[in-house]
Amino acid sequence: MIQDDHFQLLQSFPNVLITAHQAFFTRNALESIATTTLSNITDFAEGRPCLNQVKLT
């Protein structure tokens, strides 16, 4: 259940259609995600700096 007043208001209109965001679900996007993930795992396992590491300050 989504607890968002704006979302619920939009849902109440008969002329509004709400769909899921699927931009990531292309072959190119999934290949890029897999390549980046495997690269991150390899860098971590081999003790190299991870270019995509999120550093908290």
Which pLDDT tens digit goes with each residue over 27-46? 998 999 999 999 999 999 99
In a domain, 53, yes or no: yes
52 vs 33: CA distance, rounded Å: 12
In a domain, 45, yes or no: yes
In a domain, 14, yes or no: no
In a domain, 48, yes or no: yes
In a domain, 20, yes or no: no
Number of domains, the chain: 1
Q: Is the whole model's pTM more than 0.75, yes or no? A: no
In the chain, the percentage of residues whose pLDDT exceeds 70 is 96
Q: How far out from the chain centre does Cα 43 lie?
A: 21
Give residue 38's identity as a one-letter amino acid code: L
Evaluated on CA atoms 42, 46, 48, 53, the torsion sign reads positive
Residue 47 backbone zone (phi > 0: left; psi -120 to 50: alpha; other: beta): left
In a domain, 49, yes or no: yes
In a domain, 38, yes or no: yes
- The two tokens of residue 40 are 């991150």
Range of the domain at 48: 25-57
In a domain, 52, yes or no: yes
